[in-house]
A and B are shown apart, each in its own frame.
Chain A
């Protein structure tokens, strides 16, 4: 590994129709980091993630990956898991998992047929086992529980072996028990693959439990007469020694309104 950061964010700013969402965001992230992103609703966490994915472009500043500007549209090297709508509802579980290979193998139709298709479906056995969906391989996503859908979404996001995995409140809609299982699955995958992970979450415990680095987004300045005037930035950047997780509860104070936010809230 070189000493160059995996992801370098340099003075990035973003505003929508005169409302400044983010300003002066700068950050260097080492390869293999697990960055969790927390902050109040509407503070630009999701916008930050979308910019890392090239779903949106920063108005100012630059984002570099391995020293090069990131491509201007979403690409295979950055995987994404959303809170909802992450998997394709019209495809069965196994077809969701072979889709990426179909794209690669059939440039014209994006679909392979017959023996080739059966062979591809055979290749997903290991993945299905890892995410516990062997029995559900023929099911459609609508027939799966929320936890099963998100396991499928994570497995699908990793199909192209991205070295950066982006997650936007991936477990926000899950019940606490399922969430704990998902944490274990995610940490295993992260260790196994050595990916760099960015995960936006509303759950501060989750942030400290999973992250090697917690990024807190908040507004540094606030004009009560013109709240749209200033954007948020990274106010706290906490590298975590994973053995000191016990200090997590104190970090609650770092966030302006953590109790305000519930799973299911949509960020602006």
Chain B
């Protein structure tokens, strides 16, 4: 049988999915083992047990200096910044995206502008933000919002323009005003695209979050890993990276589940990633 027609069953699909993860864990364990044979105090590839112990300490043992549970404090601060930034970007994307995609006059006015803005590398405006709004929370949230909003807006606008013209014509023959078409025909149909845009926007959003925290912050996941970098504390950095990855994965799955629950009509044909 041709390779394209051979499909794994459910158990073997699960096993195959686990394979690369198992591979990298084993490769790390082996490499770490041999490095520590030479130097038991090796800092670059700490043992998995040591990382687990450090992670446990970060999560459940109050910090000696501040008395805080560092992991949870860092996580909460980072997630709040991420949520605020993404929330603002999403709100902007849905309002402006629908207007740009649906109303030719708004499109002519704003489309080239947004296209240009979206080409500014967001990190380059971080110093501007620091100077203008200071080193506090506002600059980090603004960086995330400004970095993700233009692309999300364009993708929502494109989704609006990709709606079959037939549906818009049909709505007009049913007596809909422009506003009613936006609220009942356009907006509900692009909400699934908005969620997709959020899922894609989260990838750069994490980058901006970690960068902003690394450069100027006193808390957060990005602050922590860049802080302990000075002590080569790989036993903190590696678990934190895994933790951040896990958070990003969970948020992504959450959005996908939300989309499936809220918009079942959009998930009735085909597989989706």
Mark A residues whose CB is within 8 Å of B: 53, 55, 73-76, 78-80, 82, 84-90, 99-100, 102-104, 106-111, 140-143, 156-157, 159-160, 162
Contacts and interface: CB of A to CB of B under 8 A. Distances in A.
B173 A90 contact: no
Contacts of B181: 110
Contacts of A73: 172
B interface, size bucket:
20 to 34
Q: Which of B177, B179, B183, B265 has the most CB of A within 10 A?
A: B265
A74 B169 CA distance: 7
B173 A99 contact: no
Contact of A110 (B167, B179, B268): B179
Interface in B249-273: 263-266, 268-269
B176 interface: yes
Contact of A103 (B176, B263, B269): B176
B188 to A, nearest CB: 5
A122 B159 CA distance: 34
A107 B169 contact: no
A80 B189 CA distance: 21
A85 B167 contact: yes
Contacts of B166: 82, 84-86
A90 B174 contact: no
Nearest to B265: A140
Nearest to B183: A110
Interface of B: 164, 166-167, 169-177, 179-181, 183-185, 188-189, 263-266, 268-269
Contact of B183 (A53, A79, A109): A109
B45 to A, nearest CB: 52
Contacts of A111: 183-184
A86 B175 contact: no
Contacts of B185: 88
A100 to B, nearest CB: 4
Given A90-B265, A110-B184, A162 B170 contact: no
Contacts of A142: 265, 268-269
A110 B180 contact: yes
A85 to B, nearest CB: 4
B106 to A, nearest CB: 18
Nearest to A95: B184
B189 A89 contact: yes
Contacts of B176: 103, 110
A150 B270 CA distance: 22
A241 to B, nearest CB: 32
Nearest to A111: B184
A82 B269 CA distance: 22
A79 B170 CA distance: 8
Contacts of A80: 169-170, 173
Given A86-B166, A90-B263, A159 B174 contact: yes
Contact of B188 (A87, A90, A143, A157): A90
A109 B181 CA distance: 10
Contacts of A82: 166, 169-170
Nearest to A73: B172
B173 A160 contact: yes
Given A84-B166, A111-B183, A142-B265, A99 B174 contact: yes
Contacts of B174: 76, 99-100, 103, 156, 159-160
A156 B170 contact: yes
B164 to A, nearest CB: 4
B265 A85 contact: no
Given A76-B175, A84-B166, A86-B166, 13 more contacts: A76-B173, A78-B173, A82-B169, A87-B170, A88-B167, A88-B171, A89-B265, A103-B177, A103-B180, A104-B175, A110-B184, A111-B183, A157-B170
